[in-house]
Amino acid sequence: MGFTDAIEPVLRVLPEIPKPTRRPSLTERFVWTGIALVLYLAMAHTPIYGIPWQTSGFEQLVLLRVITASRRGTLMELGIGPLVTSGLIWQLLVGSKIVNIDITTRRGRALFTGAQKLFSIIFTIVQALAFIVGGAYGPLSPSIAILVFLQLTTATLIVLLLDEMLQKGWGIGSGVSLFIAAGVSQDIFWRMFSPIELRGGLPLGIIPAIVVAITNGVTTGSWDKLYSIVLRVGYPDILGLISTFAFFIVLMYLENMRIDIPIGVSKYGGIRSSIPLKFLYVSNIPIILVSALYANVHIFSQLIWLRINKEDWIYNNILKYLFNYNQTNGQLIPLKGTLVYYLNPPRSYLSILEDPVHFTVYSLLFIGLCVLFSIIWIQTSGMDPWSQARQLAESGIYVPGFRKSPRVIASILSRYVPTLSILSGLLVALIAIASDIVGVFGGGIGILLLVGILAQYHALIVRERALEMYPLLRKLTGVR
């Protein structure tokens, strides 16, 4: 009995959202998507009952909060982290044939989806226990610990079902993408328009800060406040505002760049068309993989550090070079020279001048891992030339002027795919690093994810509108 056969009985008893009996209209799907978003945002602003609102134990990891769409101290403490981790692991396991599931069959797709759901629940339980046992909320009584555990697992299970609801056809896109985009957008909006006043009489949000600075300059004749927000380290500034718009435009342009390969479709009488290969071939997948890796390293290293005996031989001779922290005002700050220190991105141009070694090591590691994960992803996800060629040949697609053979299509794709995968991994890594340095709102990784998700949603909405306007397209595409 194989592994998937062994877990199949368990998959049958997991909670499940049924598919709609009829295809909902685009308006209905917008409504359900909006409901899912409102529920997520409500949980992201609801504090966990039984613990202080701002408890000590963890620094505010921007990297972790972006990739997992989580909010510290709220019901969305775990966010979509278990879903993302489970999805990536199973994509790699099935793509690399370590676990043999034929996702071209109905049963295979059901097994694949069910296995992802099962492991999402398992990761939820493990991470919730890790937060509680690791001391993230300080010492808790048994009853409070159980209450916190139930809150974390229930909220994450609701997110899992919301994601399934959208993907089953009730909404648009996926919950994972929607919640990440919502989190990044919320951060950008807050940095642009927050009215909270800082020392010096200027608001946190850069837009109201500019208004106050200009008003003060006109009234008093002194423009010092305006000069002070051009570069404001640690807070939103004019450079960050300009950089955010500039990077957004550049990323949208790169996201829409294509390399067209001419093809013919024998099933429709040899009609000519083209295969568009995205310039960012692997999109933001390398960023997601590296960010998930970094986030897990950070969170588990902090959990171990809080619990480990600092006098142990293993800690003093091995572990302290991997992770060591200075606990200040309830935050854990990585000490210089440790591995986790070099996994933290530089947040401004001043950090490069203060510690160029940190910037160099972080950049080389981040770029190298992004390129490595780009190569691994195309090999395990079916995006390599041979896998793509077999799928195209089975669909009756051929290259005009050549024999109708998968080998021909693969040889043509091989001219572009390996180069595009490496180049896109390198490019997104450089953009993420540069965005962090100039203070792009939402962070470099956040803005990359946001642009990619918005592009996907635009394509989905255009497709859905076309299917509603032209019913014939449904028959041609097989959509019910």
- Compute the distance between CA of residue 173 and CA of residue 169 in angstroms, rounded to an integer: 9
The amino acid sitting at 118 is L
Torsion angle, alpha carbons of 79, 82, 85, 89, to 10? -160
> In the predicted model, is pLDDT for residue 299 greater than 90?
no
- Compute the distance between CA of residue 146 and CA of residue 459 in angstroms, rounded to an integer: 44
Helix (H, G, I), strand (E, B) or coil at 400: coil
Cα distances from 402 to residues 264, 391, 461, in angstroms, run: 10, 17, 36
For the ranges 77-91, 348-362, 393-407, the one whose mean pLDDT is highest:
348-362
- Compute the distance between CA of residue 221 and CA of residue 343 in angstroms, rounded to an integer: 45
The predicted model scores a pTM of: 0.78
Cβ contact 453:289 at 8 Å: no
- Compute the distance between CA of residue 356 and CA of residue 339 in angstroms, rounded to an integer: 16
Mean pLDDT value across residues 82-98: 77
How many of the other CB atoms lie within 10 Å of CB of 388?
A: 19
> In the predicted model, is pLDDT for residue 263 greater than 80?
no
Specify the pairing of strand 271-278 against strand 258-265.
Answer: antiparallel
> How confident is the model over 318-373, as pLDDT tens digits?
777 788 887 766 567 788 888 888 888 887 777 788 888 888 999 999 999 999 88
Q: What is the pLDDT of residue 128?
A: 87
For the ranges 64-78, 163-177, 443-457, 458-472, the one whose mean pLDDT is highest:
163-177
Name the pLDDT band for 284 (thresholds 50, 70, 90). confident
Q: Which domains does the chain have, with CATH numbers?
A: 1-190 (1.10.3370.10), 195-235 (no CATH), 240-480 (1.10.3370.10)
Closest CA to 72 of 307, 330, 273: 330
For residue 83, what are its two tokens? 């879903």
- Compute the distance between CA of residue 335 and CA of residue 324 in angstroms, rounded to an integer: 6
Q: What is the pLDDT of residue 329?
A: 62
Cα distances from 11 to residues 84, 203, 387, in angstroms, run: 19, 52, 29
Q: What is the pLDDT of residue 235?
A: 82
> How confident is the model over 374-385, as pLDDT tens digits?
888 887 777 778
| DSSP tally for the chain: helices H, then strands E | 21, 5
Cβ contact 244:448 at 8 Å: no
- Compute the distance between CA of residue 398 and CA of residue 406 in angstroms, rounded to an integer: 8
Concatenating the DSSP letter of every residue in 359-398 gives HHHHHHHHHHHHHHHHHHHHHHTT-SHHHHHHHHHHTTEE
Q: Where are the beta strands (DSSP E) in 205-364?
A: 258-265, 271-278, 325-328, 331-334
Name the pLDDT band for 59 (thresholds 50, 70, 90). very low
